Structure 1
Amino acid sequence: MAMKLGCCIALFFLLASVAVIIAISVIQGCNWTHETPGLKYGIVVDSGSSRSTVYLYQWPAEKENNTGVVTENMHCQVAGPGISDMNVDPARDVASWKAIRACMANVTKAIPPEQHSATPVFLGATAGMRLLHAQNEEASNTILQNLRDYLKSLPFSFHNASIISGQEEGLYGWITVNYLMGNFLDKNLWNAWARPHGAETRGSMDLGGASTQIAFAVPEDLTGQDYLPVTLYGYDYNIYTHSFLCYGKNEAEKRVQAALVKSSKDPTTVVHPCLPRGFNHTIPASSIFNSECTEAPEGYDPALSITMVGAADRDACGDVVRSLFNLSCTGNCSFNGVEQPPLSGGFMAYAGFYYSAAALYLSGTSTLDTFNSTMQDFCAMDWPTLKKERTWIRDKFLKSYCFSTIYVYTLLVDGYKFNEESWKTIQFQKEVKNTSIAWSLGYMLTLSNMIPAEAKLVRLPLNTPLFGGLLFLFSALTIVSVMFLLIKLRNKKR
């Protein structure tokens, strides 16, 4: 009798285990077989200093507040320079407006017509417009108003068009990085959204044409003008973020050219240590001194033509690049007397950082020594060799990559204080999950409230732990009932 009872108990636990497995399978299967009711879309016009890019994002309609579900459908680079170079009179700048309309037409075709009116459109202008606003506020306001009027005329839901601050640009980039990597929320065993156990955020580093931004999470007790407390999905973060205007790649290159012109005995012919040997080109002086970031020398003639002669001198290039930074501060600071707490966690370096590393075939992670040695070999190549070795890079960019790699190295090592160990945590990357890493995604998520501050606003699927628990309880009760009936029937036969 005892043996039979033991068999019954064993059978009960076996059936109970099967029930648990079935319950979990059904819970997971709910997500696999559920049909998506459709997609929603969002448009962001990223108006940078050197160009504008239109991003089209999409996400499942029923998962608007979930993390990591927004992906890039497409992006379109607007031909020509950035909006800060547009004429305030649209009639006098037909080419710029034709290019913008062409990109918006391509984006419009990618969105189902029935979704047009529900699709939000945003425009964010960055450092190029921040510089123009400082130089000519009326012109910047007029250009922005012209763009607002145009975007409002489209069949979409216009939300915003403005110049964002450097601090906002840094924060939005940090949000993009961690949203795409799933560092805010992740799915647990029951397919519900929860904060990943022991999750750490990654720092964000963006290098644009006119500015560069760094942002990373720090302890909550650190406060000051460069610290932003944010609440996402019910969790608090304290973000250090700082933007350096005039330290974007293009403006930094102009400042190097300006320094070389001022120190040259003959301002019409300048030896440029960052350009490859065998490469010479003539540029107007106005292309160097037309910016708020460069100071024209006395007696400057904007019509002057300057011939830059490539010298491929890595050490001399490093010296002139380093002269752009005031590195006199010690302690918890970066450069130019700016406070910066000690670096913590890993970092994602994108935009100009990524392209500079990619020119060295060093996208992803690498060591500091590898980056340095590869950079030296790259800068030692003459122009014909460089063109043969890097056929996939256009000449207008290739000529400047020795400068940009040295600039990135100097900014990260001397500026932000990365060393041999912390450099290994830097990931030079262009995209995550086929979505470009750019501040624009974090901008749209924030302004459209798609990242709620309170966790209770996160829409969980029906297959939550409560649903799973009820299913398991029902299964267990069913098994117990069947076992009870079987035992009673067996006892009756006796």
Structure 2
Amino acid sequence: MGRISFSCLFPASWHFSLPSQSLPRLLLPSSRQLLFIGLLLFFLGVCYLLLVTGKLPASWTTKGNSFHRHLARVSDVDATDASNPDLSYGLVVDCGSSGSRVYVYCWPSHNGNPHELLDIRQMRDQNGKSVVMKIKPGISKMAETPEKASDYIHPLLSFAAEHIPKNKHIETPLYILCTAGMRILPESQQEAILEDLRTDIPVNFDFLFSDSHVEVISGKLEGVYAWIGINFVLGKFNHAHNDDDAVVEVNIPGSDHQEALVRKRTAGVLDMGGVSTQIAFEVPKSVSFASPQQEEVAKNLLAEFNLGCDAHRTDHVYRVYVSTFLGFGGNAARQTYEESLVKNTTTRNKLLGQHVGEMAAAPLLDPCLPTDLRDQIGSPEQKLHVLGTGDFDQCRRALQPFLNRTNETQTSLNGVFQPPIDYNNSQFFGFSEFYYCTEDVLRMGGDYNASKYAQAAKSYCATQWGTLRERFDAGLFASHADLHRLQYQCFKSAWMYEVLHSGFSFPPDYKNLKTAFLVYDKEVQWTLGAILFRTRFLPLRDIQQESLKGLHSHWRHSFSFVNNHYLFLVCFFIVLLSIILYMLRLRRIHRRAAQRCSPSSVPWLEEGLGSPTLPIHL
């Protein structure tokens, strides 16, 4: 087999030779080379598809045109992880009549859904206990020395500051809200106390605090906050509902032409303390009034507010009726009742020349005390001896005049306006005396049944006082029930029943009332509703910040994607162009070789003979 020298194609210094049969393999790509080039192009195409259809990191999801991180909900019972940088904090100081209490709340960053509220929970220490501190007496005691108000409240804020990370203080809102104790003070004394707080607190603490963050709130607003807090814990503001959830049609206030919004039914609140009784519930439909005077009164009892973060959205707009009745609490009602007994008995004794109740041997009979219970009522100057007869029904009838009901439509206690309640589609929770009256002695807390409750109360009232004392000593009643509860349980049972059914007009067969002390195993304070309402615009700020971050991230991602896309195309065409140029180069080399070599040499090449013009190596 002959060999060919390529000295005619290359400089003399590049002299080399190949077998003549190798020339076609060198000049034209083989099938293996074509297969390799095809696989290379296929691999680059797959990379291109992966690049085009690639997804964002799994820790991000898209909602609309923004990006939102999934953040874990704050636990209700676990210790709060103060090292978590995503947690925010807030403080509410409840300045009540008997003392002041600070509550520390926390929440993670908003999830970005404008339909949802902040996930606020009470902060818990390392032992899982709520971060709360209380001091006595009430801040109203500073009325004569208002310059000491900030010193009075300093221990509460110092306590809170120790639990909140130092770097979070500057962004932690602080609200100081005063209630009943401050309301009874003259306005000048109120303002002097508030001014001292506004001036001195920013000097000593770095919390987010402004003049509007300290104020005396009305009883109506306190009731609204309580309603918000309870419904938030119950999950009533989460409008996503299942088929089993109770719903209600709501006509949004101020949007008369808008179609009714269907959302979860909220819960009403009944609360009877020692001095006052309160009722609060959502009014889903527009209310008609019997008279212009009633409409004017209703304006002070109906609260319309937007709990959502966006004022332009209406899915969290609520119309809530709140009414507080001073003097209608359990202890205040008993005092009013006793004063009436003393006054009426004294007057009757004078008119008839009797001495009823003036001596223990001739006591005044009281149907609202357990059978054979002896007690003394009135002042030292005008004291009466009473003896319980334990007649529940008679006690109820005796208490009805103290409700001050009128014959006007849509009214309740004291003739106060009350919008109609859809008893067939409503739910109420009863707290304080509504719970104590049903649970402490009767052990019937929870789902309320009027007939069973009345029967149990009737049986209790009719029981001999000596028997009740024996049961008490045997520990058959609730652990926190005391002798005062036993003595006045009959009266309070009847008073609660009348307030509920005669005052608020709940039908005797109403089945949707639950009496409770805790909601989901925790006490719900009105301060939770206050922090929810006062921070309602923070989610919008978070949403806007997240949107800006998301837009920036999306721009960076798009910019990176465009760069990678064109970079790939450039690389792809460079490789393709290189392959084409390489093949053209080979063809050109092949043509030059054919032109510069003698045509007569071709048969010799085929026959393995050397050309006379080319050196032959044998």
Tell me whether the two structures share a fold, i.e. TM-score over 0.5: yes
Q: Tell me, which stretches of 5 or more residues in structure 2 are unaligned? A: 1-56, 63-68, 74-80, 124-129, 243-247, 249-260, 289-294, 347-356, 555-618
Which structure 2 residues correspond to residues 7-26 of structure 1 after superposition, within 5 A? none
Identity %: 28
For residues 186-205 of structure 1, what are the structure 2 equivalents within 5 Å? 198-205=263-270
The CA deviation at 1:417 is 0.6
Q: CA deviation at 1:330?
A: 4.6
> Structure 2 residue aligned with 1:337, among 415, 418, 430?
415
After superposition, residues 292-311 of structure 1 pair within 5 angstroms as: 304=381, 309=386, 311=388
Task: Pick closer, same or farther for the CA change 1:185–1:283 going to 2, 3 Å.
Answer: same
Q: Secondary structure in 2 aligned to 1:183?
A: coil
| Alignment partner, residue 59 of structure 1 | 107
Matched, 1:375 2:460: no
Contact 1:63 1:69 in 2 (8 A): no
Separation in structure 1 between the aligned mates of residue 414 and residue 234 of structure 2, nearest angstrom: 32
Residues 1:323 and 2:401 aligned together: yes
Aligned mates of 2:452, 2:446 — CA distance in 1: 13
Segments of structure 1 that go 5 or more residues without pairing to the other structure are 1-22, 190-194, 286-302, 468-494
- Who is 1:72 aligned against? 122
Q: Deviations over 1:143-198 (max 9, x none)?
A: 65666678667634445333322322222222222222222235689xxxxx9974
Higher mean displacement: 68-77 or 163-172: 68-77
Verify the 8 A CA contact 1:268 1:304 in the aligned structure 2.
Answer: no
- CA gap 1:88/1:379 in 2 versus in 1, 3 angstroms: farther
Q: Deviations over 1:345-382 (max 9, x none)?
A: 21122244333333232332121112222222343452
Largest Rg, 1 or 2: 2
Mark the CA change 1:241 to 1:104 in structure 2 (over 3 Å): closer, same or farther: same
Letter in 2 for 1:439: W
RMSD of aligned residue pairs (Cα, Å): 4.8
Q: What is the distance in 1 between the residues matched to 2:540 and 2:455?
A: 45
TM-score, structure 2 as length reference: 0.55
For 2:359 and 2:199, how far apart are their aligned partners in 1? 44
Kindly indicate whether structure 1 or structure 2 has the higher relative contact order, using CA contacts under 8 Å at least 6 residues apart.
Answer: 1
- Letter of the 1:205 counterpart: L
Change (3 A) 1:309 1:252: same
Check the 8 A contact 1:67/1:186 in 2, yes or no.
Answer: no
Pick from 89, 98, 105: which aligns with 1:41?
A: 89
The SS at the match of 2:446 is coil
Give the whole-Å Cα distance in 2 for the aligned partners of 1:458 and 1:214: 39
* Aligned equivalent of 2:273: 208
Quick one: distance in 1 between partners of 2:359 and 2:138?
Answer: 28
Counterpart of 2:491 in structure 1 is 403
Tell me the number of residue pairs that the alignment of Structure 1 and Structure 2 aligns. Answer: 415
Whether 2:327 is the aligned partner of 1:238: answer no
Q: Say if 2:430 is the partner of 1:349.
A: yes
1:64-103 aligned within 5 A? 66-67=116-117, 69-73=119-123, 74=130, 76=132, 78=134, 83=139, 86=141, 88-89=143-144
The correspondence for 1:261, drawn from 342, 367, 370, is 342
What residue number does 1:217 align with?
A: 282
- d(CA) in 2 for partners of 1:145, 1:320: 48
On the 8 A contact 1:367/1:424 being kept in 2, the answer is yes
Structure 1 contact 53–78 (Cα < 8 Å) conserved: yes
Q: Following the alignment from structure 1 to structure 2, what is the Cα–Cα distance between the partners of residues 339 and 443?
A: 25
Note closer, same or farther for the CA distance 1:268–1:262 as it changes in structure 2 (3 Å cut): farther
Question: 1:419 maps to what in 2?
Answer: 507
Pair 379,111 (structure 1): closer, same or farther in 2 beyond 3 Å? farther
Q: Cα offset for 1:277? A: 5.8
Q: Tell me the amino acid that sits aligned with residue 70 of structure 1.
A: I
Bigger Cα displacement from structure 2, 71-80 vs 218-227:
71-80
Distance 1:372 1:59 in 2: 44
Encode CA deviations 1:448-472: one digit per residue, 9 max, x unaligned.
Answer: 3358799987989x99xxx9xxxxx
Amino acid at match of 1:339: F
